Chains A and B, each alone.
Chain A
Amino acid sequence: MGNPPNLLAAIYGWLNERFGIDAAVAFGKKKVVPVHRESVWYYFGGVTLFLFIIQVFTGILLLLYYRPGADSSFESLQFILTQVEFGWLIRSVHSWSANLMVLAAFIHMFSNFFTQSYRRPRELTWITGMVLFLLALGFGFSGYLLPWNELAFFATKVGTDIVGAVPIVGKPMLIFLRGGEDVTGATLSRFFGFHVAVLPMVFTLLLGLHVLFVQVQGMSEPVSHQALGSDKKRTMPFFPNFVLRDVVLWLVVLNIVAILSVFFPWDLGEKADLFAPAPAGIKPEWYFLFMFQTLKFIPGHVLFLEGELLGILVFGLAGLLWILIPFLDRRGQKNQRNPVFQLMGWIIVAFIVVMTIVGFVL
């Protein structure tokens, strides 16, 4: 038996011989991160990733006891909260980190929009990021139903109703999502399938691509920083300086999640009753609220279109344009700031914030 350092060196050597780890380490050591006044936004991608990792770990732990089904979901959650050691903590951390992950993803997305990080050659990083964002919303929507409580049941009903209003494909999509005409145990089964199998698989693949793109192309620099001469640009090594800063922020986020979970544990509510009338004030999760509230404000009929349909079409078109931003921002392609897009971005942020607040208040 050799001593431990020698053993580690031997294992490292064995792996290095086969996978060329030296090259990856050299890449990490050589890689630098630009330092400028917008650098702080670089960390939100890492925070989103960290919260996703928490989601995976707590999700797997919840799976040990969670039993999907109209007769067992709510009961198994009750069991997790009251009987399983630290079950309440795992469930609360899962719920809080899910919400914080969507928030971090929002911040990550808008910070990249305002710093025009989507500029050539990072178009695909933006697009994979956008798809990841939509998948995160899908995680939120499917996970919300899994406790099978009253609020989740009716929110899912309203949410899938909106999907059903999409022209041509709406009705088949509604049937596909619900597993029938109504939200029932069949809906719960397939939402569970999406939440723990389909979405994680697609998400992980895309996340791998997204992170790979960032690693290969490096961090995007804002237009103003890119224009500086190389002597005026400041950088820091990716490893360990940037990574350690990332870890510090992750630890802060972990602590925030823990505090929220202890002092504001996620409520389980009342079990869903398929025959009960919808309680007053049914609202979707906060990240869907701005769209929900907008749909409520649109009149029943606008010209020859139904109000709801018009809203869905506008949001659909806006989402598509948002994804295609890298190709629409011509000035950005020439490494120039685009004041029109910046203004548009702030109007969108203001719209989302105001409609979300209105949705909470009304």
Chain B
Amino acid sequence: MKRVFAISVLFIVFGLGFAAASAGKDSCRECHLEAGDELAAPVHAMDTEDVHASRGFSCAACHGGDPGADDQEAAMSKARGFVGVPKPSEIPQFCGRCHADPQIMRKYSVSVPTDQLEKYWTSQHGQALKGGNAEVATCASCHGSHAIYPANNPKSSVWPTNVPQTCNHCHGNAELMGKFGLKPDSFKEYSEGVHGKALLERRDTGAPACNDCHGNHGAAPPGFESVAQVCRQCHVNNAEMFMASPHKAAFDAAELPECVACHANHRILPPDESWLGAVGEHSCGQCHSQGDRGFEVAQQIKALVDSLRIMEENAVELVGQVERRGIPVGEVRAALAETREALLKSRTIIHTADVRKVAEAAHAGIERAAAAQEMGRAGLAAFEYRKRGLGIATIFISLLILAIWLWLRHLEGR
């Protein structure tokens, strides 16, 4: 019964809005534009590519009232459904009137999700709001209020490359974050990490923004035991190898946040072999120490990957020398690519913490690197052969020139 009533109210509100629009009368716009400044700002904002305005919604569609009425009091009377400006705590429910209702939303798209409100109440934001804290993000905090672009519009505040700044609007506010016991430097750390550089500097929208790991409407930090599940969305192999490794149980027991324990959360730096050593904030040495089994395994894995990396670097240098001498290196390039692939594979297999598996991948790469080096040396030898040939030809040509010159001198009696 309640549902029927709610739908009826909404239809009346929409009906009035549409009726006014179809009659060409919108007293909300007229008065607010006339008032100017702050009161006119929402109208100007709606005149951009606002998703609601572009689908024919007037102010009254959300705020109620009667845009057909000339009189301000009549237009903004509660009797005509005027709800005014919602308080922040009312916004989720305010937007949810339509966005949580499949019957309404399917009129605009059959595939549009309608679970945002439900998810919101499970989020850290929603939970805090429920608990009476109104200083948390609601729909408008992220999406804006009057110039709301569709999420697939690059101008939208929730377009991937804009998300970090949108979140940072609150999460970079030290005073506000202090109230929740959170650090305000997530954005800075994220920007310095591989994901931030990819998304913000290279504009690679495939790179994760805040919401890809934390969720958007249901935003919450992943628990320490489920970090790998978050990272596996992209890093499938690494996560699966970790889950099957002895580290999974040990990390859970020690309440270590899985991937984050070594890679950090926001400031994720490109890993290198030094992490397999004893020293450094990301290193195995954080948990393992000289003499324990894990440390030995780390040392063995490090030796294998180091060997492959050094072999690869030498092969690349050698092939570069050959290339600079103008010798074609087509086939060697293939061997180098295979070496590179083996190095990447070895670095991934590290997550198994299994020396045997790492050795298998590393040895395959070392073999290809050795083949590339061999081809590189053959290229250098070919260049030496060319130089020798040129030297012999030059001597021969020079002798011929000398002989002809002497003959000429003889002929000309000099």
Contacts and interface: CB of A to CB of B under 8 A. Distances in A.
B39 interface: no
Top 7 A-B pairs, shortest CB-CB distance: A265-B326, A262-B390, A81-B328, A255-B397, A262-B386, A251-B401, A82-B328
| Majority secondary structure, A binding face | helix
Contact of B390 (A81, A251, A252, A259): A259
B394 interface: yes
Contacts of A264: 326
B411 A248 contact: no
A228 to B, nearest CB: 21
A26 B387 CA distance: 44
Given A244-B407, A262-B386, A262-B387, A251 B326 contact: no
Interface residues of A, number: 25
Interface of B: 326-328, 330-331, 386-387, 389-390, 393-394, 397-398, 400-401, 404-405, 407-408, 411-412
A245 interface: yes
A226 to B, nearest CB: 24
Contacts of B393: 255, 258
A255 B390 CA distance: 9
Given A244-B411, A251-B404, A264-B326, 20 more contacts: A82-B330, A82-B331, A88-B328, A240-B411, A241-B412, A244-B404, A244-B408, A245-B408, A247-B404, A248-B401, A248-B404, A248-B408, A251-B400, A251-B401, A254-B397, A258-B394, A259-B394, A262-B387, A266-B326, A268-B328
A245 B386 CA distance: 29
Given A78-B328, A244-B407, A244-B408, A252 B394 contact: no
Interface in A237-274: 240-241, 244-245, 247-248, 251-252, 254-255, 258-259, 262-268
Contacts of B405: 248
Contacts of A263: 326
Nearest to B394: A255
A241 B386 contact: no
Interface of A: 78, 81-82, 88-89, 236, 240-241, 244-245, 247-248, 251-252, 254-255, 258-259, 262-268
Nearest to A86: B389
Contacts of B397: 251, 254-255, 258
A209 to B, nearest CB: 29
A89 B328 CA distance: 12
A81 B394 CA distance: 23
Nearest to B329: A82
A337 B327 CA distance: 52
Contacts of B387: 262
A44 B18 CA distance: 88
A67 B168 CA distance: 61
Nearest to A265: B326
Nearest to B326: A265
A88 B327 CA distance: 9
A53 B412 CA distance: 29
A120 B254 CA distance: 102
9 contacts: A88-B327, A241-B408, A241-B412, A244-B407, A248-B401, A251-B397, A251-B404, A255-B393, A263-B326
A49 B185 CA distance: 74
A258 B390 contact: yes
